[in-house]
A and B are shown apart, each in its own frame.
Chain A
Amino acid sequence: MAVETPTKPTIADKIYDKMFHNYVWKSIFRTGYPNTPRNQMLVVATNVFLHLHPTRIHRTHVKITHTYCLGGLTFFMFLGLTVTGILLMFYYVPSVERAYLDIQNIETTVQFGQLMRNMHRWMAHAMVILVFLHMMRVFYTGAYKPPREFNWVVGVILLVLTFLLSFTGYLLPWDQLAFWAITVGTNIAGAAPVLGPKTKFWLLGGFEVGPDALIRFYTLHVIGLPLLAAIFMAVHFWRIRRDGGLARPL
């Protein structure tokens, strides 16, 4: 019977050992490097960001053509919009006197300001498209069926919230495009029977788009609706796990 003789550790092994097996590193990452099935499961289960996932998943669900990652990408857009949105908030004041000038400043004098604004806008459009495609994916794969009924309802609410988030952001540049799009949009809401005029007044804080509408849309856009969306997203993701992960044939 051959006996394995331990080889002398190389310098690389020693550096590796010092870097990853020390007290500080272990205090941050409890599990070892995910190169064994045990560590791979632990890294998903013990990491706050990764534990959105189960540790194991049915093999048909990792095929890209099953979901096209549409739901995840919608969430990714939401995160990206939060980051670029916060950066834009540093430079933007939602007053009629300053809003348009601030956007011009963001585009011309702020480092990477134009890039941030562009990314925010294109990601917003992408999110609307992705959330709609995600809904189509869920429908055509029959993934709303029991026990996932309620999560479909939450999804419909999130679809509406996405539209509202995009719509409230549309006014903020305070240019002709923004002003008239919101005028048209809120006129549509104002045409509702009985409740229409009151709803429009409540949305705009007045009879037409003006300073009060700007601050309302801004507040809804940067805090009110994102908070609501985050709550419903938390429910949405939680329910995916509780309802047994992604749908698969019986």
Chain B
Amino acid sequence: MATAVVARPVARPQERARDEEVLVWPDLVFVEFISAMVFTLTIFLLSAIINAPLLDEANADVTPNPSKAPWYFLNLQELLLHMDKGLAGVIVPAVWLGLMAIFPYFDTDNEGQGVWFGTENAVKITVVSGIISFVGTWLLILWDNGNIAQYLNGWFGLSGGDSLRFLENARAFQSQLPWPEWSTHIPYLWFDLTLLDQPFHHLNFPAWLVEQAIPVAFMVGLPTIMVYVLWRVGWVRTRRDALLSIFTGFVVTMGVLTIVGTAFRSESEELVWPWQLKLSEGIPGQE
């Protein structure tokens, strides 16, 4: 029996609509020229008014407190206050970039292409996902910082006493629960594994729970719940809709994390109002 090679449909450029076209010169070149001029002028004026920062010469013995990464990495720096450093700083951004790169292979439908918010519920989904992510991220930061337990106690006199103290923040699950002795060193394998000079011998289960499991559960679970709920109420109908919700959630969450890391983290990464920000330039010889 002959097996036919079935040609799969390959996406091709659209047919041109020649009667809808205008000339690039002057219509497009003019727009480009104006926007380039506007930017040149803006950057020029900005540079004439505000000087680029230059602090004292680099000194490995003087540690400013807090030391901050460039602003576009402060979202990651904020994230790594709340979980394992490797998870926050490397795995989360790497996995996200990988996921984002395969968006078009997940959502292959041409629906809503080429126009702003092309699907029926796109604007609703974007706005609601944005609000949920904004509020949710703030709540999570405040909870993990212990503020929420503090407010509940201070404003309503609510206190779980010592028995509920493990709910104060994520890491309290490790420190405030009576973990049995063996749970802190569960062997991974029957032999001691070492990879690139790094030991992988024992699993500290409570530490793994608060540094990896709980954060991952939140980062994967909450967006999933958001998309599920939006699907159940009938807003999310296609893959495009689901991506709109997730992408908006990501952008807003990263935005909140960047702003918190930039304007709300003071000395020793303490969470304060922007007008209370302090920076100590460091004392020689002191870490």
Contact = CB atoms under 8 A, between A and B. Distances in A.
Interface in A12-69: 34, 37, 40-41, 43-44, 50, 53-62, 64, 66, 69
A118 B53 contact: no
A250 interface: yes
Interface in A233-247: 242-247
B188 interface: no
Interface residues of B, number: 90
Contact of A196 (B77, B86, B104): B86
A244 B14 contact: yes
A24 B117 CA distance: 52
Nearest to B98: A156
A202 to B, nearest CB: 12
A92 interface: no
Contact of B69 (A118, A136, A184): A184
Contact of B195 (A150, A194, A250): A194
A147 B113 CA distance: 11
Nearest to B195: A194
A173 B54 contact: yes
A144 B104 contact: yes
A249 B115 CA distance: 7
Nearest to B73: A185
A189 B182 CA distance: 32
Contacts of B91: 192-193
Nearest to A152: B104
Given A62-B31, A146-B104, A188-B69, A136 B89 contact: no
Given A56-B23, A175-B55, A250-B14, A184 B68 contact: yes
Interface stretch (A3-11, A99-107, A215-223, A224-232): A99-107
Contact of A57 (B24, B51, B105, B281): B24
A49 B33 CA distance: 13
Contacts, number: 260
B39 A188 contact: no
B196 interface: yes
B108 A175 contact: no
B163 interface: no
B158 interface: no
A149 B113 CA distance: 12
B35 A146 contact: no
B85 interface: yes
Given A41-B23, A57-B24, A140 B103 contact: no
Q: Which of A60, A128, A184 is packed against the most chain B CB atoms within 10 Å?
A: A184
Nearest to A47: B25
B90 A191 contact: yes
Given A118-B52, A143-B113, A248-B113, A188 B73 contact: yes
B23 A153 contact: no
B59 interface: yes
B197 A181 contact: no
B112 interface: yes
A225 B16 CA distance: 36
B240 interface: yes
Interface in A180-225: 180-181, 183-185, 187-189, 191-198, 208-210
Interface in A128-184: 128, 136, 139-150, 152-153, 156, 159-160, 163, 166-167, 170, 173-181, 183-184
B22 A176 contact: no
Contact of A185 (B46, B69, B88): B69
Given A142-B115, A143-B114, 19 more contacts: A34-B25, A40-B24, A50-B25, A57-B24, A62-B22, A76-B39, A80-B43, A100-B58, A118-B47, A121-B52, A139-B243, A149-B108, A174-B58, A176-B282, A177-B55, A178-B58, A187-B85, A188-B77, A249-B114
20 contacts: A59-B21, A60-B20, A62-B31, A66-B116, A118-B51, A122-B50, A140-B122, A143-B113, A145-B107, A146-B104, A159-B97, A166-B70, A176-B56, A176-B64, A177-B53, A181-B70, A188-B89, A192-B91, A196-B86, A244-B16
